Amino acid sequence: MDFSIKACDWSKGAANGFLNGKADVVVIGVFEAQTLSGAAREMDLATKGLVTRVIKAGDMAGRAGTTLFLPEITGIGASRVLLVGLGKQDVFNQKAYGEAVRAAWRAILGTKIAQVAFTLAQLPILERTGDWAVRTAILALRELTYKFTQMKSKPENGTRALKKVVFSIDPADEKAAKVAVKQGAALANGMDLTRDLGNLPPNICTPTYLGQTAKKLGRDWKLKVEVLGQKQIEALDMGSFLAVAKGSIEPPQFIVMQYQGAGSGKSAPAPVVLVGKGITFDSGGISIKPGEAMDEMKYDMCGAGSVFGTLRAVAEMGLKINVVGIVPTCENMPAGNAVKPGDIITSMSGTTIEVLNTDAEGRLILCDALTYAERFKPSAVVDIATLTGACIIALGHHNTGLFSKDDALAGELLDASREAVDPAWRMPLDDEYQDQLKSNFADVANIGGRPAGSVTAACFLSRFAQNYPWAHLDIAGTAWKSGAAKGATGRPVPLLAQFLIDRAGQ
């Protein structure tokens, strides 16, 4: 799909020939008040009052979510116009814009239209800019066209007709909108990778497969990639990670990927480290899970997937920043040699851990990765994990849980989350909760009981993240959808990429 920008000042009449450009359809917004302005007014003039007549006839009342194709148009470059209802202008916010854009794409994707001239990104949206509108429209289209077909035996029929979209944009927004096109496409490509990895079945997307994916990502995007195997992980004394891995016949992998957009060498700026939970299947281990929806535990590597997707996006954007991605990956399986409740294991940091529930395995692999992260002297570390069912109980499927003691870092992540429309909600991390992790026999227990389960999981991790600014994202509720629309969402790649864009000052 090819996206481009054309600056148009509608107050100067037919605006740069936008309406005469080659396209199959021009997309025009209509508010409920039905007073035409900007692109809609010029379209009406160019078609000798057709838009006005259609509105007068009652065929397009401007109601949110409605669309109407006008065929066989003359007087402009395209043969069709798509009118899109926008609702009330005084409450036209990001949500209303998103709905209008999705309605437009849905209508277009149901046709053979190949080229689109799109004017909605130029509409006045409350508290949002033109470049934001372009990026959002690109992401909405790419979201609607994503399909996971790799595992179907026959290719699904029909190639997609839509090839090219030109956005009209105010001249003042042109430069930022061009950046938005590049970043929007890069972000969508990163999210597609994250979604593909999540959706792949666990017999294919194994730790070894993730290791190979990392190496390919390294080749394609010039990342420095290391994939450590069992022996090397043992040499690092990652006793906690290895304890989780040992019940599976799939060998664990410890993946380190470095993107050096701000240069390498001694004087290079400190990197941001992203750590992603890479459990390619979470059966619960000896504390085995009930059968219902257990297939969805293939998604327990979505934190890792988001690290891959974010690195891909950041590399394609060419951000001037250094980012390290760390992915500890293994399966959590029951077996004669699996870790058991009651076992005490020693983490890379030396902290001893009493395993009271083998299903609380995410924190056990992440704690060693957090210790490993110290060697990069990071400016910040963010871990991303499908860590707790309790986070879903607390926040549902809308917000990612954000945990950090560092107000500045938490603020940056929340700002990025808002800009990217990838919602996150800050959760508490008070020291008082740490008491729930007391063990009679080891330094710490791996579970803290039912109350505030997502908080005590974060508290566990915090013990291993004392030496740098750190934040934790619990994506248990947001990384994938269940039910008829079952599939990975690609979240929180938008949040993470925006955080890095902001840090890079780009």
Give me the residues that bind ligand BES (CB under 6 A), please: 282, 300, 357, 359-362, 386-390, 447, 453, 476
Number of residues that bind Zn ion (CB under 5 A): 4
Instruction: Tell me whether residue 29 or residue 362 sits nearer to Mn ion (CB atom).
Output: 362
Span from 298-306, 412-420, 448-456, 462-470 in contact with Zn ion (CB under 5 A): 298-306
Question: With 0-12 CB in 10 A as exposed, 13-18 as middle and 19+ as buried, what is 342?
Answer: exposed
CA–CA dist 319, 156 (Å, integer): 36
Is residue 422 part of the contact set for Zn ion (CB under 5 A)? no
> Which of Zn ion, Mn ion, ligand BES, none does 368 bind, CB closer than 5 to 8 A by kind?
none
Instruction: Tell me whether residue 23 or residue 355 sits nearer to Zn ion (CB atom).
Output: 355
451 DSSP 8-state letter:
T
433 DSSP 8-state letter:
G
Taking the complex as a whole, the smallest distance from the CB of residue 388 to Zn ion amounts, in Å, to 9
Buried b (16+ CB within 10 A) or exposed e, 213-239: bbbebbeebebebebbeeeebeebbbb
Instruction: Please indicate whether residue 160 is annotated as part of the active site.
Output: no
Instruction: Tell me whether residue 202 or residue 362 sits nearer to ligand BES (CB atom).
Output: 362
382 DSSP 8-state letter:
E
Q: Are 94 and 126 in contact (CB under 8 A)?
A: yes
From 131, 250, 300, 474, residue interacting with Zn ion (rule: CB under 5 A):
300
Instruction: Evaluate the omega torsion of the peptide bond into residue 492 and state whether it is cis, within 30 degrees of 0.
Output: yes
Taking the complex as a whole, the smallest distance from the CB of residue 335 to ligand BES amounts, in Å, to 17
User: Which residues does 12 contact at the CB level (< 8 Å), separation at least 6?
Assistant: none
- What helix, strand, coil percent values describe the chain, rounded to 5? 40, 20, 40
Instruction: Tell me whether residue 270 or residue 293 sits nearer to ligand BES (CB atom).
Output: 293
Is residue 331 part of the contact set for Zn ion (CB under 5 A)? no
Instruction: Tell me whether residue 29 or residue 448 sits nearer to ligand BES (CB atom).
Output: 448
In the bound state, the residue with its beta carbon closest to Mn ion is 359
Mark 257-296 with x for binding to Zn ion (rule: CB under 5 A) and - for no binding: ----------------------x--x--------------
User: Could you give the 3-state DSSP secondary structure of residue 400?
Assistant: strand
Task: Tell me the backbone φ, ψ of residue 320, rounded to 5 degrees.
Answer: -90, 75
From 211, 271, 284, 362, residue interacting with Zn ion (rule: CB under 5 A):
362
Taking the complex as a whole, the smallest distance from the CB of residue 282 to Zn ion amounts, in Å, to 4
Instruction: Tell me whether residue 202 or residue 469 sits nearer to ligand BES (CB atom).
Output: 202
Instruction: Tell me whether residue 85 or residue 284 sits nearer to ligand BES (CB atom).
Output: 284
Taking the complex as a whole, the smallest distance from the CB of residue 402 to Mn ion amounts, in Å, to 21
H or E element at residue 50: helix 50-56
Taking the complex as a whole, the smallest distance from the CB of residue 336 to Zn ion amounts, in Å, to 21
Interface residues toward Mn ion, by CB under 5 A: 282, 359, 361
Taking the complex as a whole, the smallest distance from the CB of residue 205 to Zn ion amounts, in Å, to 15
> Which of Mn ion, Zn ion, ligand BES, none does 42 bind, CB closer than 5 to 8 A by kind?
none
Span from 64-72, 360-368, 396-404, 474-482 in contact with Zn ion (CB under 5 A): 360-368
- Relative to beta strand 424-426, strand 344-346 is unpaired
Chain-centroid distance, C-alpha 84: 28
The structure tokens listed for 382 are 């963010």
From 340, 344, 324, 320, select the one nearest 332 (Cα to Cα). Answer: 340
CA–CA dist 410, 26 (Å, integer): 42
Taking the complex as a whole, the smallest distance from the CB of residue 162 to ligand BES amounts, in Å, to 34
Instruction: Please indicate whether residue 135 is annotated as part of the active site.
Output: no
The structure tokens listed for 148 are 């996971």
448 DSSP 8-state letter:
-
In the bound state, the residue with its beta carbon closest to Zn ion is 282
In the bound state, the residue with its beta carbon closest to ligand BES is 389
The structure tokens listed for 200 are 């792949």
Neighbours of 413 (CB within 10 A): 26
Catalytic residue among 128, 289, 405, 426: 289
Catalytic residue among 363, 463, 491, 503: 363
User: Is the backbone of residue 87 left (phi > 0), alpha (psi -120 to 50) or beta?
Assistant: left
Q: Residues comprising the binding site for Mn(2+)?
A: 277, 282, 300, 359, 361
Positions that interact with Zn ion (CB under 5 A): 279, 282, 300, 362
Residues belonging to the active site:
289, 363
